[in-house]
Amino acid sequence: MSKQLERLAEFEREREQRIAQMFQQAQQNVMQQKQKLTSLEQYRIDYLKGIQQTGKAGVTATHYQQHLSFVGKLDKACEQQMNVIAQANMAADQRKQLWLKQQQKVKAVELLLNKRHLAKVAKEARAEQAMMDEFATQKFFRSGKTFF
């Protein structure tokens, strides 16, 4: 029974490590998606500054309309990227919850293993004490002494 419990504990620890890696990957994905959003937003700002610079020199209405259309596409891309970040955050949160649950399983199995070990040690100590008591009793009777 103890060997089975030890194998179960090892299995649960390995599973915890796999889930922790998945959680870490999900966190990294969130960071990457946020970096993409930051890049998009920075590109949008730089593009708007460029429009202002060229606008000072004068542009046609058609050219100006094209710039505004492109800025609208950048705004839409930023919005879509925010949705991607929200989904990545949800996935990371789900993986975190799985990881926390798995940690609880590992702790429960390890606690059970520890209790079994302590019970075994206590049983061995009682058996040793009983043996020592028996030896002491035998020695006492062999010495020929009486209680009174």
Q: pLDDT per residue over 99-112, tens digit each? A: 999 999 999 999 99
Say how far apart CA 47 and CA 33 lie, in whole Å: 21
Directed axis angle between helix 61-143 and helix 2-57, to 10°? 160
pLDDT for 54-80, tens place per residue?
Answer: 877 777 888 888 988 999 999 999 999
Say how far apart CA 75 and CA 78 lie, in whole Å: 5
Please give the domain boundaries of the chain with CATH numbers for all domains: 2-142 (1.10.287.1700)
Instruction: Give residue 147's pLDDT.
Output: 57
CA angle 79, 31, 19 (to 5 degrees): 120
Whether 146 has a pLDDT exceeding 80, the answer reads no
**Rounded to 5 degrees, what are φ and ψ at 13?**
-65, -45
- Model pTM greater than 0.85? no
Contact 66, 47 (CB under 8 A): no
Categorise residue 60: left if φ over 0, alpha if ψ from -120 to 50, beta otherwise: beta
